[in-house]
Chain A
Amino acid sequence: MDQEPSSFETSEMLGRFLASTHLVPESWKVCARANVMGNGGFMCDEVDGVVYVGFSGVVMGDGLDLFCGKMVGLSDDGVFHGLVKNGDDDGDLVMVDAGLLRLFFSLLNTPVFQNQMFEIKKKQKPVVFTGHSIGGAIAALASLWLLSYLQSISSPPSVLCFTFGSPLIGNESLSRAIQQQRWSGNFCHIVSKHDIIPRLLFAPVAPIITHVHTLLKSCHLTMNSPFFIRDLGPQLTEHEKNELFQFVLHYLEVAIRSLEVGTRSLPFVPFGNFMFCSSDGAVCIEDTKAIVRMLCLMFASGSPSSCIDDHLEYESYVEKISLQYLKRDDEELYESNTYEAGVTLASQSVSSGHLRNGASRRNFKVYLNREKLGKFWDNVIDMLEKNQLPHDFHKRAKWVYASHSYQLLVEPLDIAEYYRSDAHRIKGHYLKDGREKRYKILDKWWRERDISGENDNNYNSGRRSKFASLTQDSCFWAKVEEARECVENVKNERDPLRLSVLWTSIEKFNQYSRGMIERKEVSTDVLAKNSSYMVLVEELRGLTNTWCF
């Protein structure tokens, strides 16, 4: 129990490793050439003993109409037998997008493709399947097909799949089957910061299918043109772009929530690794929940037009990340702990800034690891309750402080998510009805800690001269949210008795929050312009003025 769950965060280092190889730029080259070939094209190339097969992402004519988010179960006809045999009952049926599967099958059945695959199997060389946009989905299906086929062969060649801005292709059973086959490591989905296409199928696309098709058609015209000319063909209006963006964003948030609660399963679920790129670098993530969170988090920082532009920016992202090694980074960090520093590097790499409540780095960390840390503390508490830990464990300074700083770091984000997902409307306010048991127990440890030696250690030994790096009450934001509701209610309340109750609680919050600020027990993000707290204070000031006069 002496060790942290892990003392290094490696998603960024893995991104660096991948970016320093030829694989990504070579894959992109083949993709771009395949795109120019147009409808249903693919092309092969061999570089340094690796065979690259790029699938065109350009789908013209009625081929595109097939792509409408409908799913179909994979049948056990031998093409994907590696995946299908695991589905016993209907609930486990492995399903993929019907349109994408049709596109793949129509390619698979052509003699020219079959000949190429025959040659490749004969060569016994490592193969990379790759594609941009819809081509990425075809590449993924082709990889699954080849991996299924190779199962029956001893010492098969290695298969790797790089997709660029590919839509999701299958359901949770597919994702699970791929994990069971240990194929996750064969897939790397490269997703640029705001690209809407990889996020599209979290939403039921039927209501906006004409928007989607207009968008794809125009993108495909650009991808197909040798000089990558933008804005060809009919375009979405600004209003339509905005509709599309908001629609997808909404369903991304729903997706996170349902992953969180685990009640409703998503129609489409990511699998394999995701490499998120920005012009500042790349991170590589394998955990499904973390992938969905990152997809949402980064998308939310985009805009209706950047989410479309980013689908066509892979060339420049690939170039930027693959030249990273040439430049010494001059960033300066203040973390003393290796894990935190790794998280910071990762969050800088994807510049996931511009988030509500500031503190992007912290957000990133928590998105990656809240789950892991939460489970860790749940285990600790569980073991303590079952007497598997020393009886005075929860009073040992090291653990008390570790648990407290965990709480200060993570609970505010739980609160933010709680209110962002409107859980308070269903369950009630966080403090009363939404708070995890572990936080209550950690609170108790903190209150009961042995403080006799603290003055020697300079803990709380005097007034703070600077604002705290973490707000010292982990429930601060929950209290802000409750006060905000009071303020809202005051506006509409006419009954004097209830009004006075509301004002009492507002006043109580006022005193509490001022005290926190005077003692500098809040972090600076509380006082940042436009923070929920500052907005509330403004509103309150307006409200008091109206009430006084």
Chain B
Amino acid sequence: MGGTLGESCGISEDVIIKASSLAVNSQNNATGYKMELGPQETFFAFDGSWSVQDFYNHEPFGETKADIALFPSLKSIGNNEVAMINEGFFLKFQSILQTTFQAEVEKAINEGKPIIFTGHSSGGPVAILAAVWYLAKHTRSGGHAPCKCVTFGSPLVGNSIFTHALNRENWSRFFLHFVGKYDIVPRITLAPFSSIRNEFAHILDFFNPQSRNFQNPLIQTSQEASTLFKTVLMNASTVASHTACNLMGSTNSLLETISSFVQLSPYRPSGTFIFCTGNGKLISVKNSNAVLQILFYSSQPADEDDLRIAASRSLYMAMAYHNELKEILLGMQDVVYLEDETEIPLSSNSSALGDTASVNTALKDLGLSTRARLCLRAAQAFEKQKLQNQSTIELKKPSIMKMHNVIAEYQRACDDRKIGYYDAFKIQKGNEDFEANVKRLELAGIWDEIVEMLKRYELPDGFESNDDWIKLGTKFRKLVEPLDIANYYRHSKDEDTGTYLREGGRPKRYKYTQRWREHAQKLDEGGSSETTFWAKVEELKRKTYEKTKEQVIDLEKQVNEWVEKEEIGKDVFLEKSTFVEWWKTLPQKHRSESCLKVHLANYMQ
């Protein structure tokens, strides 16, 4: 397992220590951040901020939809759900974007030194958002080297879609979050604002270097500190046990009902978490659900602890990162890596040897009881189930490809007969049309199953960025969607329920696969809508030219482009095709000016 932390995460220990020093000391900069040139790296350290507004922009949890223009990847692709992020911290980041920040980042890129975003406590979320922004703008679109993001005791910033998106883009590995076993800050936003309204502002002063209560020991032991600690712990327990029930596959109907009566925090961990036990050990965890469980269970006071001591420790721990890490990282490192494959002993009395024994010691140091360990196992099993689901689907690939070939063969045979397969299918005269329809239905079954799994997030996060599947999905869409449209209009379904392209008319299997391709190739929404060509023709055909003139011209332009790029076949120009038949009905004047006249010269008269 593992090696040193530096080796495993690709950031050297010196850089981490340097980052922690910069992060802890970054405050009160006019721009909200400080840039520092290291010998090898460029650091951007973001200021902490100590206003309640930054944590909770509004009740109950202060989250907002991520701005897709700034963070185009922060969504699920097929489901098209946009990630939620903490609005207060987002606004801070947004104002930093208005400063010299963008120019300095570009300068750093030009100098070719790796960029490290870092932040301590409430500076962490801003560093995280900056890194996500950088990765989208400069790495994904600009082709520059990825950045790294290192935070220390940062609050959580995004919801489960945020985590999903980072995993899908394979960006999670660039995020390293150090969290002290008892530090309260990373756990705070698991509680709704209303529950800590009376204490929170008071406690924030303890962290604020500008406040006269900065690190005031009286605050540490105050009643407010105890109450805050207790409330946050209780809410962490609610979120953790609710998630655990779902991970364990509870089907109890009460679970759902209760969820609409309690305020459950949307925030979830993302990236790699490194828990510091306080006795010189580090435990690295990537599984977001496992991190969530640890966030709760490791901060539970042991039996003998006084609540006040636990509360006081939860504040103190938030300030101790730099010194603790310096000591651990420069000495003999004791790092344990909890992967999804790692065997987790359920009892701390386990007599296991070797790696399992060191895992056991690590879990003991985190204070994880059997119940906590069960939850970790559930988090692991949940991910394993996703992989299992994927491998079940992978097994279907050969038969998908075989069926694609049958339909491609059908398309060729139609071409030979000088009739487009769209029109042949619509007429449904021969046995081969019937066979193609059978294959269409079989394929629909398989793809719908995949879509269902995606809807419930039951496939690994990376599935929708898997090249093979994107290619397969695109091929499927190109070959089969015209048949679905043909089928739709052959049965005049438009007269019963409306057009194919209306909301809810087009099957999800095509919408999802279209979005996969558009996201992978960074196309605009609708940038790969060529497979709906026939539906557009059918729609225009049913309207008068006068009313749709502009749409007709648009479509012609698109067709021209699609044919040029070979996105659609030339069979659309065959004499008997629905398209040509319709086009011929357009006014003479329009046709003579059409951009398609080269292709359709035969039908001008």
Contacts and interface: CB of A to CB of B under 8 A. Distances in A.
Interface of A: 6-8, 10-11, 13-14, 16-18, 20-23, 48, 50, 126, 128, 158, 160, 182, 184-186, 188, 273, 284, 286, 325-336, 338, 341-342, 345
Nearest to B262: A21
B374 A185 contact: no
B303 A327 contact: yes
A161 to B, nearest CB: 10
A14 to B, nearest CB: 5
B346 A338 contact: yes
Interface in B285-338: 297, 300-303, 307
A198 B250 CA distance: 26
B257 A160 contact: yes
A445 to B, nearest CB: 28
A411 B31 CA distance: 73
Contact of B248 (A8, A18, A284): A8
Contact of A333 (B244, B297, B347): B347
B405 interface: no
A333 B350 CA distance: 9
B230 to A, nearest CB: 7
A325 B233 contact: yes
A347 to B, nearest CB: 13
Given A18-B254, A341-B374, 14 more contacts: A6-B249, A8-B249, A10-B252, A14-B250, A14-B255, A17-B255, A20-B241, A126-B261, A160-B257, A273-B254, A326-B233, A328-B367, A332-B349, A338-B378
Q: Determine which residue in A10, A273, A329 has the highest number of CB atoms from chain B within 10 A of its CB, and name it.
A: A10
Contacts of B58: none
A327 B377 CA distance: 21
B297 A328 contact: yes
Nearest to A15: B241
Contacts of B244: 13, 17
A48 B231 CA distance: 14
Interface string B208-243: 000000000000000000000010011001100110
Interface of B: 194, 230, 233-234, 237-238, 241-242, 244-245, 248-250, 252-258, 260-263, 297, 300-303, 307, 346-349, 367, 369-371, 374-375, 377-378, 381
Contact of B252 (A21, A185, A331): A185
Contacts of A158: 257, 260-261
Nearest to B296: A325
A20 B237 contact: yes
Contacts of A17: 238, 241-242, 244-245, 255, 258
A191 B258 CA distance: 18
Given A16-B241, A336-B346, A329 B307 contact: no
Contacts of B252: 10-11, 14, 185, 273, 284, 286
A182 B300 CA distance: 36
Given A13-B250, A14-B255, A334-B347, A329 B237 contact: no
A329 B369 contact: yes
Contacts of B256: 185
B261 A160 contact: yes
A547 to B, nearest CB: 49
14 contacts: A13-B250, A14-B241, A17-B241, A22-B262, A48-B194, A160-B258, A185-B253, A273-B253, A284-B252, A326-B307, A328-B300, A328-B301, A329-B369, A338-B346
B258 A20 contact: no
Contact of A20 (B234, B255, B263, B349): B234
A13 B261 contact: no
Nearest to A324: B237
A182 B261 contact: no
Nearest to A21: B262
**Top 8 A-B residue pairs of the complex, sorted by shortest distance between their CB atoms:** A185-B253, A8-B248, A325-B237, A17-B241, A10-B250, A20-B237, A328-B300, A185-B257
A334 to B, nearest CB: 6
B442 to A, nearest CB: 24
B248 A10 contact: yes
Contacts of B297: 328
Chain B CB count within 10 A is highest, among A13, A18, A335, A341, for: A13
Contacts of A338: 346, 374, 377-378, 381
Contacts of A325: 233-234, 237, 300
A326 B299 CA distance: 9
B378 A345 contact: no
Nearest to B257: A185
B258 A345 contact: no
B349 A334 contact: yes
Find the residue from A17, A188, A333, A335 having the highest chain B CB count within 10 A.
A17
B254 A286 contact: yes
Contacts of B349: 332, 334
B244 to A, nearest CB: 5
Contacts of B263: 48
Contacts of B238: 17, 20-21
Contacts of A182: 253
Contacts of A329: 369-371
B287 to A, nearest CB: 16
Contact of B230 (A184, A188, A326): A326
A13 B375 CA distance: 9
Of A21, A185, A332, chain B has the most CB atoms within 10 Å of the CB of A21
A71 B264 CA distance: 41
A11 B233 CA distance: 22
Contacts of A13: 241, 244-245, 248, 250, 375
Contacts of A328: 297, 300-303, 367, 369
Contact of B374 (A6, A48, A345): A345
Nearest to B236: A325
Contacts of A160: 257-258, 261
Contacts of A286: 252-254
B300 A326 contact: yes
Given A8-B248, A10-B245, A328-B302, A21 B258 contact: yes
Nearest to A287: B252
Nearest to A182: B253
B260 A126 contact: yes
A188 B254 CA distance: 8
A333 B250 contact: no
A23 B259 CA distance: 11
A335 B252 CA distance: 25
A328 B248 CA distance: 21
A188 B257 CA distance: 10
Contacts of A273: 252-254
Contacts of A345: 370-371, 374
A332 B349 CA distance: 7
Contacts of B375: 13
A128 B254 CA distance: 13
Nearest to B256: A185
Contact of A18 (B253, B258, B370): B258
Nearest to B298: A328
B254 A14 contact: yes
Contact of A185 (B254, B307, B370, B377): B254
Contacts of B377: 338
A8 B381 CA distance: 10
A499 B378 CA distance: 59
A159 to B, nearest CB: 8
A185 B250 CA distance: 13
Contacts of A186: 257
Among A184, A325, A332, the most chain B Cβ lie within 10 Å of the Cβ of A325
A50 B261 contact: yes
Contacts of B301: 326-328
Q: Among the interface residues B194, B242, B254, which one has the most CB atoms of the partner chain A within 10 A? A: B254
Nearest to A286: B252
Contacts of B261: 21, 23, 50, 126, 128, 158, 160
Contacts of B194: 48
A327 B256 CA distance: 26
Contacts of A331: 369-370
A11 B374 CA distance: 13
